[in-house]
Amino acid sequence: MTEVNVYFYKDKFYLENGHEYKLGEILLEYLSYFEEDDFELLDLYDECKRYCKILRYPEKEGERFIFGSEFGRAVMVYSDVEDLIGSLPPYSAMTMKRDALYELLNSHRWMFVDEYEDDGTECEYYERFEVDTYIEDFACADMIDEGLRFNEALEQLTMQYLTFVEDALRTIKVYIPLLERIHSKNRFLFNEEIAELIANVDEEIGLKARSYEMLQPSGTMTLSYKPFKIKEHTVLAEYYHFTTIGAFLYIELFKGLQNHYLPRRCNYCGRFFLLERTVYANSCTRPVEGTNGKVCRDFGVAKKYADKVKDDPILFLYLRAYKRHYARYMKKRITKVEFQQWAAYALQIRQQAQDNEMSFEEYEKEMKK
């Protein structure tokens, strides 16, 4: 249900149906979709984990019966998970199997209590899935084997749903904090820096119990090389088979680190955007409403400088004095030459203060003149 086959060539992933994604684009969608405190996702995780433990056909006497209400409720919960899966890439561009649990249950109707229509005929599809016997009490060995295979299929299916929700949680619990640390230096990192950062992260979270709190892939990945046609040209591309979206996101993250295609949070609007190799920026290019076409990046540069000024008392005093002297010049209280002479002197003593060649008190006194 969550398996993905993709080709990777240069800086893009391609689905087998030809749909393409820029490196980092799918991870960006997951980061943007989920909030950092998504309690609904945690509730969904708890329900999926519970059903992983209890959804099974009782095999022998003494095992707990799962009543129809449990199966029916699970069908609805997993339908919500399927809606979530289908709304996100790459599944949103794929033909995805739906109602997997409902179809599995109905393909084994003979194991459940018969359900009838109002006219007395047996229902073509069941809804209640009530249980009234054990697998060990089935009439023959073939029926027992089929019942055991049903439980195996049920276990695999419920684990797929749980794994997807865990992968979604991992984007919140692991990838967002990791990306914030990666971008703390406001530049693309070198390989050695990445290695040190990942080693520190692994050491910090290595003892945590929950898998979605660890920097690790779910499922499995296989890699081979295959010819792939892109427009008029056939190229040799990397061909990946992922059993889960978690395996894909893990590979996409590290390919993004290697190739400098990484999501980061805009320091102006707070939303994630994709950095693309050649330009490192702190802000995105989304239009800002009511600003006549200006984008976050136009304001982000100013905000970054304002934050720097706020945290630097030497620069703060310089700018305040500069504005005061410039206002004097505009009001013709000093000449242009006098203003230029002061500006040159102000830069000189600012550098002296930054180099600790002048005390801050002396610098402050000079700037207030």
Structure confidence by residue, pLDDT tens digits, 71-112:
989 999 999 999 999 999 999 999 988 999 999 999 999 999
Please indicate whether residue 364 or residue 237 has the higher confidence score (pLDDT): 237
> What CA–CA distance (Å, rounded) separates 52 from 43?
14
Of 183-187, 221-225, 311-315, least confident by mean pLDDT is 311-315
For range 338-365, the mean pLDDT: 88
Same domain? For 186 and 328 the reply is no
Question: Phi/psi class of residue 99: alpha, beta or left (left: φ > 0; alpha: ψ in -120 to 50)?
Answer: left
Query: Which residue range(s) make up the domain with 73?
Result: 4-204
Q: Which of 189, 204, 219 is the last residue of a domain?
A: 204
Give a yes or no: residue 97 inside a domain.
yes
pLDDT of 64 over the 90 cut: no
Same domain? For 192 and 318 the reply is no
Of 2-16, 199-213, 318-332, least confident by mean pLDDT is 199-213
pLDDT at res. 304: 62
pLDDT band at 315 (very low <50, low <70, confident <90, very high): confident
Please indicate whether residue 224 or residue 313 has the higher confidence score (pLDDT): 224
pLDDT band at 269 (very low <50, low <70, confident <90, very high): confident
Same domain? For 27 and 169 the reply is yes
> What CA–CA distance (Å, rounded) separates 193 from 182?
9
Same domain? For 321 and 198 the reply is no
Same domain? For 50 and 172 the reply is yes
For range 201-213, the mean pLDDT: 77
Give a yes or no: residue 333 inside a domain.
yes
* pTM of the entire predicted model: 0.81
pLDDT band at 305 (very low <50, low <70, confident <90, very high): low
The strand pairing partners of 235, in sequence order, are: 228
Burial 115-142 (b: 16+ CB within 10 A, else e): beeeeeeeeeebeebbbeebbeebeeee
Q: What are the residues whose beta carbons fall under 8 Å from the beta carbon of 276, sequence distance 6 or more?
A: 22, 24, 260, 261
Number of domains composing the chain = 2
pLDDT at res. 342: 87
Q: Which of 160, 184, 204 is the last residue of a domain?
A: 204
pLDDT band at 38 (very low <50, low <70, confident <90, very high): confident
pLDDT at res. 121: 92
Q: What are the residues whose beta carbons fall under 8 Å from the beta carbon of 134, sequence distance 6 or more?
A: 58, 59, 60, 61, 63
For range 56-60, the mean pLDDT: 92
Is there a contact between 164 and 49 (Cβ–Cβ < 8 Å)?
A: no
**Unique residue bearing structure tokens 């006549």:** 292
Give a yes or no: residue 162 inside a domain.
yes
pLDDT of 313 over the 90 cut: no
pLDDT band at 141 (very low <50, low <70, confident <90, very high): very high
Give a yes or no: residue 53 inside a domain.
yes
Q: Which of 156, 185, 204 is the last residue of a domain?
A: 204
Sort strands 12-15 and 20-22 into parallel, antiparallel or unpaired. antiparallel
> What CA–CA distance (Å, rounded) separates 339 from 174?
53
Of 48-52, 58-62, 216-220, least confident by mean pLDDT is 58-62
pLDDT band at 65 (very low <50, low <70, confident <90, very high): confident
pLDDT digit string, tens, across residues 145-197:
999 999 999 999 999 999 999 999 999 999 999 999 999 988 999 999 999 99
Give a yes or no: residue 296 inside a domain.
no
Same domain? For 328 and 199 the reply is no
Nearest one of 313, 91, 282 to 183, comparing CA atoms = 282
pLDDT of 227 over the 70 cut: yes
pLDDT band at 61 (very low <50, low <70, confident <90, very high): confident
pLDDT at res. 206: 63
Give a yes or no: residue 38 inside a domain.
yes
For range 252-262, the mean pLDDT: 96
Same domain? For 23 and 142 the reply is yes
Q: How many CB atoms lie within 10 A of CB 227?
A: 10
Give a yes or no: residue 234 inside a domain.
no
3-class secondary structure for the chain? CCCEEEEEECCEEEECCCCEEECCHHHHHHHHHCCCCCHHHHHHHHHHHHHHHHCCCCCCCCCCCCCHHHHHHHHHHHHHHHHHHHCCCCHHHCCCCCCHHHHHHHCCHHHCCCCECCCCCECCCCCCCCCCCCHHHCCCHHHHHHHHHHHHHHHHHHHHHHHHHHHHHHHHHHHHHHHHHHHHHCCCCCHHHHHHHHHHHHHHHCCCCCHHHCCCCCCCEEEEEEEEEECCEEEEEEEEEECCHHHHHHHHHHHHHHHCEEEEECCCCCCEEEEECCECCCCCCCECCCCCCCEHHHHHHHHHHHHHHHHCHHHHHHHHHHHHHHHHHHCCCCCHHHHHHHHHHHHHHHHHHHCCCCCHHHHHHHHCC
Give a yes or no: residue 116 inside a domain.
yes
For range 337-361, the mean pLDDT: 88
Which tokens belong to 206?
Answer: 């290595």
pLDDT of 37 over the 80 cut: no
